[in-house]
Amino acid sequence: MKTPAEYLDVPVFHLTYPTGEEAEMVPVVTFDDALRAVETALADAEKYRYLLMRALRRTHDEAAAPLVTPDAAVRPLYPETDLAA
């Protein structure tokens, strides 16, 4: 998997004061470049999700009982507490 910085294949700038000193330590990219990087990352995530699900289906033992059945009891993850108090 790529690191977030690897999705940006464009120049990255740093804000500077008129004196030339860096104003912030945060890199700056254009909105379009950031949007393109996010879309690429989401496409990669979808691809990895597909590969993971395919691997899980291939390794799933058909003789084993399914993990979730339609009539399985659903229990809350956390104990019920009175939030109004």
Mean pLDDT by 10 residues, the chain (85 residues): 76 73 73 88 88 80 60 73 60
Residue 55 within a domain: yes
Q: Within the chain, what is the greatest distance between any pair of CA atoms? A: 71
Instruction: Tell me, yes or no, whether 53 lies in a domain.
Output: yes
E strands, 1-85, where? 13-16, 22-28
Q: What pLDDT is attached to residue 37?
A: 87
Residue 80 covered by a domain: no
User: Is 42 a domain residue?
Assistant: yes
Our count of domains for the chain comes to 1
Question: Dihedral of CA 4/6/10/15: which sign?
Answer: positive
- Decide if 52 is inside a domain: yes
pLDDT at 25: 66
Residue 65 lies in a domain: no
Q: How far is CA 54 from the centre of its chain?
A: 19
Instruction: Give the range of the structural domain holding residue 26, as residue numbers without chain letter.
Output: 4-59
Residue 83 lies in a domain: no
Q: How far apart are CA 70 and CA 13, in angstroms?
A: 54
19: number of Cβ within 10 Å? 6
Flag whether 71 is in a domain.
no
